[in-house]
Amino acid sequence: MELGLNTTHAQSATLGKPIFLEKGSDVVKKEIGPNRSTYTFTSNGTMNGNIEYSKAGEYVSFSKGNNQTFDQGHGVLTTKDGEKANYTFIEVFNGTHFQGASAYSTNSTGKLAILNNALVIFKGGGNESGNYARVINKSAWLWK
């Protein structure tokens, strides 16, 4: 079955200004099986350049060998005012860089209303340290 995707157009898409800029870290690692680990994470950032937020959540990481993983998880974004948005995400990580997508939902009618039923794509970089913490710098764009 052919989907009729124009890959030339898809590769030249412009993302524009990121909706999120954040820094954070993976703080706890627990082995849960062969080639599988769980992590918890925290981060802080800004949305649209002026809305400060924090994030916390967890994910399962599946090792694919050659320092590559597939990660799947969920979290909560909370503004300094207490507004919240839930999200789930998937990503691929090659040991130094990652990219993925998050699906958001919120009941907010305020600053986070734009995130209700929103899909956000992201990319970033991280480094592994001896205690399994990964320091993260991330940019994300709202997919319209």
Q: Which CATH class is domain 17-143?
A: mainly beta
Closest CA to 130 of 20, 29, 9: 29
131-143 tens-digit pLDDT: 334 556 788 888 8
What is the token pair recorded at 65?
């060998």
d(C-alpha 143, C-alpha 9), whole Å: 15
What the block records as the tokens of 46 is 């800004």
Hey, how many other C-beta atoms are within 10 angstroms of the C-beta on 23? 12
Both tokens assigned to 1 = 């079955």
The reported pTM is 0.82
What pLDDT score does 13 carry? Answer: 55
52 Rama class: left (phi>0) / alpha (psi -120 to 50) / beta = beta
pLDDT in tens, 34-57: 999 999 999 999 999 999 999 999
The per-residue pLDDT for 67 is 85
Residue 98: band (very low, low, confident or very high) from pLDDT cuts 50, 70, 90: confident
Distance CA 123, CA 141 (A): 9
The overall average pLDDT reported for the chain is: 84
